[in-house]
Chains A and B, each alone.
Chain A
Amino acid sequence: MFETVLLSQKDIESVLTMKDVVEAVDRTFKGFGEGTTVNPTKVGLDLGETAPYPPYEGFMNAMPAYVGWLDSAGIKWAGGFLGERRKMGLPYITSLILLIDPKIGNFRAVMDGALITNLRTGAQTAVALKYLPNKKSLNIGLYGAGMQGHTQIMAISELFEIENLTVYDISPESLERYKKDMQGYVRNEIRLARDPQEASEGDAVICVTQSKDKFVKNEWIKPGTALFPMGSYQECDDDFILSADKIIVDHVGQCLHRGALKELSEAGKITEASLYSTIGELAAGKKASPDLEKERVLCIPIGTGAMDVAVASIVLERAKEKGLGGKFSFV
């Protein structure tokens, strides 16, 4: 009755640029602020990430959303696995995105979600930065030279000139490769940090690691810096979170229950009242941007299904124009 389009990572790559992703993410943040985006808190399935059973060191998150400006609905089912998957040499993230017509519910597409996740996660930081410092060029500190470390800087370079970049990673080989891959995006020579503190200075300090160690220390972060802990676990110490001048998140419910704020939220030390605003409220002009000359800002774009649905919807339109992908009728 209905035909569903199937798209692979290669299909997606051939129709999507980082510039498209940054624009889509910006519009979708505005939609959040204006209330035209519907994005329930993601529902997690623990496959051994925190609980011991089943013993697979993984999880899957279901992230449904409706995006008003595109009049599109969908869900991303995405997870990360450290055990068997890592041994097989597969990337940490596994993901599919499903799109439906919100008017009648038919399935429009099933597509890879890993590439879109990586791109939109970079774009979320870049767009948040658009509403933080009043600058055209930035100095950036980065923890984690993996895939996400690449896409963060690629996305930021769409909106800003990157003057200086200091990168830290526990693997020296990752650092060397990173410098080779990314020098073209940065004006001055990329600095490879030997000591983690060296990467803690800049307009934006971004953490994209799988660390559980709270390695970024409160005293390292100076006024004028926005810290982005993007990992699934806590990457900065409690003192910084509790003493930051402003905390800005993408999604209140999710940010209190996953990632950097989880522990303090469970301990009752951080509540909804501790948050200054959402990125969406800044993008929609409903809240004033913080004064980054004087303030230390904690910004957590933990990732919303709305971003995935927005980017996937754009991909689908372009793929259809070009006749890309497979086709299947589920009903």
Chain B
Amino acid sequence: MKEVVDAVEKTFRDMGNGKVHNPTKAHLDLGDVSGWPPYEGGMNAMPAYVGWLDSAGMKWIGGWLGNPAKGLPYLSSVTLLVDPSNGAFKAAMDGTYLTDLRTGAQSAVAAKYLMPKGSITLGIYGAGAQGHTQAEAFAEVFDIRVLKVYDLNSSASEKLKKDLHGKIHGNIRVCQNPIEASEADVIVTVTHATEPFLRDDWVSPGTVVFAMGSFQECEEALILNSDRIVVDHIEQALHRGSLKKLTQAGRISEKDIHATIGEIVAGKKPPRSSEKERIFCEPIGTGAMDVTLATMVYEKARALPGMESFDFTA
């Protein structure tokens, strides 16, 4: 996870310096938007070029709401890598595991710049795979004094507590009531909630909130009353996730975004002007991060014996 966090930070810095190409993802609706075809699914194509690795690739990833009930994984993904100088395909690999890792690292790296303290209390909503990787990534960047976890399913929270035992320096507290996890320096929401649950009046001054879900997890007032809004990719963040509804209603626009994470990491914009500011951060996820991690995996894996290769051009 340390390597992942370092790599994600480098890619954010490259984004701030204009060394990354990351076009807005293209969505293929398989029923998650329009109902045709009727499969309650959809796929996002996320191509990117990452300058510091001189690597290009594309993650194709989607989720199917009906899958968990069938005992199938919610996410399905493959990432492809090409040599950007000549277009030759270098690798095809699973994309779901790296998605979980980079999603954790994205918020941890952003928090490194947005949160002035080195020792923090961390509140996490959602104790699934992403809840785990968020906590692990934050543990690389911060001394976590207390980790507070809330999940609708308290056995999931208990499992997270057990899984992360020894990996987090501080105590892990399983919250019975959602408000408890909001008493923290940094709050991360990684849920499938379709209704806002994190309330404006729960969140104290100085807190940094990361809303990572695909739908809006925070009350409108929490977003609108934040002192600063920070995102990873302006176009994507306005049209997906937490800011989508407010953007469509014309209540949030590009001028309400203080900075991108890349601009802050590259030192082009200040993270904040006072410790009292409440910051709302939306790292919705970029293909550049997936290409970054996939490239690192490829470089390590190609040296290993027994890696399978296939010549598509034969």
**Residues in chain A within 8 A of chain B (CB atoms):** 1, 6-10, 36, 38, 40-47, 53-54, 56, 58, 60, 62, 64-66, 68, 71, 73, 75, 77, 79-81, 83-85, 88, 90, 94, 96, 98, 100, 102-107, 110-112, 114, 326, 328, 330-331
Contact = CB atoms under 8 A, between A and B. Distances in A.
B64 interface: yes
A75 B313 CA distance: 18
B37 A62 contact: no
A315 to B, nearest CB: 13
* B30, B48, B311, B312, most chain A CB atoms within 10 A: B312
Contacts of B149: none
Contacts of A77: 45, 47, 58, 80
B43 interface: yes
Contacts of A106: 72, 76
Contacts of A68: 37
A326 B309 CA distance: 10
Contact of B58 (A1, A45, A84): A45
B47 A85 contact: no
Interface string B4-46: 0000000000000011010111111110000011010101010
A66 B87 contact: no
* B87, B88, B89, most chain A CB atoms within 10 A: B87
Interface in B255-314: 308, 310-314
Given A102-B39, A105-B41, A43 B47 contact: yes
Contact of A326 (B21, B78, B82, B310): B310
Interface of B: 18-19, 21, 23-30, 36-37, 39, 41, 43, 45, 47-49, 51, 54, 56, 58, 60, 62-64, 66-67, 70, 72-73, 75-76, 78, 80, 82, 84-89, 92-94, 96, 308, 310-314
A107 B78 contact: yes
A182 B270 CA distance: 65
Contacts, number: 170
Nearest to A47: B84
Contacts of A71: 37
B310 A8 contact: yes
18 contacts: A6-B310, A7-B312, A8-B311, A8-B313, A43-B45, A54-B21, A58-B87, A62-B58, A62-B60, A64-B43, A79-B82, A84-B85, A84-B86, A110-B78, A114-B313, A326-B310, A328-B308, A331-B94
A100 B47 CA distance: 18
Given A38-B29, A45-B56, A64 B45 contact: yes
A36 B38 CA distance: 12
A53 B67 CA distance: 41
A44 B30 contact: no
Contacts of A62: 26, 45, 47, 58, 60
Contacts of B60: 62, 64, 75, 98
A32 to B, nearest CB: 14
A79 B37 contact: no
Contacts of A328: 308, 310
B26 A42 contact: yes
Contacts of B311: 8
Contacts of A40: 26-29
Contacts of A105: 41, 43, 62-64, 67, 75-76
Contacts of B308: 326, 328
Contact of A66 (B37, B58, B312): B37
A90 B86 contact: yes
Contacts of A47: 21, 49, 56, 84
Given A94-B88, A96-B312, A104-B64, 20 more contacts: A9-B314, A38-B29, A43-B47, A45-B21, A45-B49, A47-B49, A56-B84, A62-B26, A64-B45, A68-B37, A73-B43, A75-B45, A77-B47, A84-B85, A85-B86, A94-B86, A102-B30, A104-B39, A110-B312, A328-B308
Nearest to B33: A38
A46 B56 CA distance: 10
B73 A331 contact: yes
A330 B78 contact: yes
A98 B87 CA distance: 17
Given A8-B313, A79-B87, A45 B92 contact: no
Contacts of A79: 82, 87
Contacts of A102: 30, 37, 39, 41
A7 to B, nearest CB: 8
B75 to A, nearest CB: 8
A42 B64 CA distance: 22
Given A47-B84, A102-B37, A41 B26 contact: yes
B86 A64 contact: no
